[in-house]
Structures are given as C-alpha cells and as structure tokens.
Amino acid sequence: MDRLPSGEKTTRREVAIQMGGRLLLVLIGVLQLVAIVQSESTADTVLHGGILLVLIVFGTRKAKNRKSLRGGN
C-alpha cells in the first residue's frame, strides 16, 4: 500500500478503491497474456505486449494525489 503523509489514516473507501483498481489491472493483464499466447501474427503479439507493458507501468507507479481518492475533501 502507498505510504501516507504523517498523521493521515487510510479510510476504507481509499482501500476499496485501491484494491478494485489493482484487481482490474490484474484482470486486464491476464486477458492480455491470453491474447499474446493465442495470437497468430507478430503484429498482434507486439500490440498486446505493448498494452501489457503500459498496464505494468500504471500498476507500479505511486499515487501522487491522495485527495482524488477522497473525493476532493
């Protein structure tokens, strides 16, 4: 889980949003892996590999603005 600035607690809503987002990224990643395995052309493999790479980058970057998770409060 991302580190919070000192003094802030993680709310259940924030945790649910983070877990839902991670689950969605994992599911899309699995679909991309299946598409890579089943692809018959090199172009399809490269396309799905690129999409998978973008998902990995988005999945590993840190949240920079925690206010967006809280609805702007």
In a domain, 19, yes or no: yes
The answer to whether the beta carbons of residues 69 and 20 sit under 8 Å apart is no
Placement of tokens 């409060």 in the chain: 73
For residue 44, the enclosing domain spans 12-61
Q: Please say whether the dihedral angle defined by the alpha carbons of residues 24, 19, 12 and 69, taken in this order, is positive or negative.
A: negative
**Ramachandran angles phi, psi of 70, nearest 5°:** -95, 5
Evaluate whether residue 52 is within a structural domain. Answer: yes
User: Is the Cβ–Cβ distance between 59 and 40 less than 8 Å?
Assistant: no
pLDDT digits (tens, 9 = 90+) for 8-25: 788 999 999 989 988 998
Is residue 14 within 8 Å of 70, Cβ to Cβ?
Answer: yes
pLDDT band at 69 (very low <50, low <70, confident <90, very high): low
Q: Is the pLDDT of residue 31 over 60?
A: yes
pTM over 0.75: no
Question: What domain count does the chain have?
Answer: 1
